[in-house]
Chain A
Amino acid sequence: MTEQQKQNLNETESLDQKTRQPLSRRSFLKIGAGTAVSLTAFGWALSPLANLTEDISLNEFLQQHYERLTPEMMAEIIARLEDEIKHDYGIDPSIQDIKPLNGVEYAYALNIGRCIGCRRCVYACMQENNTSRSPEIQYIRVLELEKGTLDLEKSSHYYNHKAVPQKDKYYMPVQCQQCEKAPCTKACPVRATWKEPDGIVVVDYNWCIGCRYCMAACPYWARRFNFTKPVIPKEEITTEMAYLGNRIRPRGVVEKCTFCLGRTRQGLYPACLEVCPTGSRVFGNVLDPDSPINYILNEKRVYVLKEEAGTVPRFYYFFDK
């Protein structure tokens, strides 16, 4: 070892010793004061929360991400949400956290040759999903298109005829396509929206920060934002609610179609299907080879909306002929 190296070594050793020295009182005080300052600063930063009784409670602010919630925590959250809804809307809701079923992946198919554009589905959806009536939030848009074209740019969903279907028009309801490669979930900066094992893209409304990146990312215009606290007449509220589904949303969060997961995860059909007078809508489990969905995929001409977007929807449009 050369002199130079030895000296270097010594220097590092002495440096080490310095840092390993026990804290002097002075530096300890310094740190203590620092911590105190940081805590007060932190408390001050949090203090607006104390005033946010209406929009968001401190408990809600400190809630964990959905994936990390234990059943006990969930029970607590649900009890709190039920209380809040009871207080705000004067009804007695029952919120459940319904988990996906094993061996089930949903798919939806819609026969565009049959749909007559009567919008019954739109309103059944609003009722089931407790969406705001004013301002109006609707998950389903029924597009009216010229027969023989597929030009969505020329479609309209504000048509107002005395009777439907109109000659030389056809109708195409569009709602969340529950994409396999959902661009919306990737856009979310806080992972408040994700794809469940059964294929449904959900939003944790307690986790959503309302940045609306997901809305911009969605090629189907399927997500809706609550600019205000939802206004729903008391008698029109569906009291059986799902945590990730149709519970009444707070202000400032994004919501969307979940294939009525509160219903479908209990074996029922989505509300939009149940009311369709034409029977254009077909729903089922793609993993079940005998399901009507697989019959369609095997027998009919099927297409997906905006295939070029590469989103791989779970929502299929089909024709008979």
Chain B
Amino acid sequence: MILRNYFILLLYLITGLCFFSGTSGWTETKKSEKEPQKQLVLPPQNWLDTTPIRDTRKLLLKRSSGFVYRCMECHKDFKTPLESVNEPIGEHQGMIFDHGLNINCLSCHHPENRGVYIDHDFREISEDQSVYLCRKCHGPVYRDWEAGIHGRMNGYWDRSRGLRTKLSCNQCHDPHQPAFKQLVPMAPPAASRLQRVQKGSQHD
């Protein structure tokens, strides 16, 4: 008699299991790998605001009127004085200059050709290769930048799939006052009232 009862119980269980096997079976079946590699949809590339914090003007002078002119349009007439003043003078009065111990305009700007930069060996560095200018004095940081760990990367980490782009030094540092500028932070998290009361230590 007892046995028969067990049998009934067992049947209960089996019917239950049959029903549930769809949801709770733990047999380790291998995921089917034959799934054809379908064309995946890439997330939009442009919605994230990846604008660098600084717009490089390159070696262009922009007047408030919007009038743009090149260095040599004036400097072909000015001979570089033997004793360079190293001050934002003349046309460049409004400029703020603060680059640490690097106080020499002409350690960056070419004395004869103001439209380019100058390298260690007095060779010209063209204006769109300003990273080589910075490399001249900031070797370790430049090496990091080249390795992809100073400054920002955008695009693809997987270079077999697409381009990886780097920001140049100028797009983050103003060469004349290179310390990274302070930014306005975005709003703090909306805390629950309880959390806001106990300011100070909020580590949960």
Spell out A's residues near B (CB within 8 Å).
19, 27, 30-31, 34-35, 38-39, 42, 61-64, 67-71, 94, 96, 98, 101, 104, 109, 111, 116-120, 122-124, 127-128, 135-136, 138, 141, 143, 152-165, 221, 238, 240, 262-264, 266-269, 271, 273-279, 281-285, 291-292, 295-296, 299-300, 320
Contact yes or no, B41 A154, CB < 8 A: no
Which residues in window 60-117 of B have CB below 8 A to A?
Answer: none
Q: Which of B23, B43, B152, B158 contacts A279 (CB 8 A)?
A: B152
Jot down 29 A-B pairs with beta carbons below 8 A, ordered by A. Answer: A34-B8, A38-B15, A62-B23, A96-B41, A122-B186, A124-B48, A127-B48, A136-B190, A141-B189, A158-B189, A158-B191, A160-B187, A165-B182, A238-B44, A238-B47, A240-B44, A266-B43, A267-B156, A269-B154, A273-B153, A274-B48, A277-B152, A277-B172, A278-B180, A284-B148, A292-B147, A292-B148, A295-B147, A295-B149
- Shortest CB-to-CB span from A132 to chain B, Å, is 11
Given contacts A39-B15, A153-B203, A274-B48, contact A94 B35 (CB under 8 A): no
Contact yes or no, A156 B200, CB < 8 A: yes
- Shortest CB-to-CB span from B195 to chain A, Å, is 8
Q: Which of B40, B157, B185 contacts A283 (CB 8 A)?
A: B157
Using Cβ atoms and an 8 Å threshold, which residues of chain B touch A269? Answer: 153-157
- Given pairs A141-B189, A279-B153, 12 additional interface contacts (CB within 8 A): A42-B19, A116-B182, A119-B186, A128-B43, A153-B201, A153-B203, A157-B189, A163-B182, A240-B44, A269-B154, A282-B148, A300-B149
Spell out B's residues near A (CB within 8 Å).
3-4, 7-8, 11-12, 15-16, 19, 22-23, 25, 28-29, 31-32, 35, 40-45, 47-50, 52-53, 144, 147-158, 160-162, 167, 172, 180, 182-191, 195-196, 199-204
Report the 4 A-B pairs with minimum CB-CB distance, sorted nearest first. Answer: A267-B158, A279-B152, A267-B161, A292-B148
Cα A38 to Cα B11 in complex, Å, equals 9
- Shortest CB-to-CB span from A317 to chain B, Å, is 13
Using Cβ atoms and an 8 Å threshold, which residues of chain A touch B12? Answer: 34-35, 38
- Shortest CB-to-CB span from A95 to chain B, Å, is 10
Given contacts A96-B41, A124-B48, A295-B149, contact A278 B182 (CB under 8 A): no
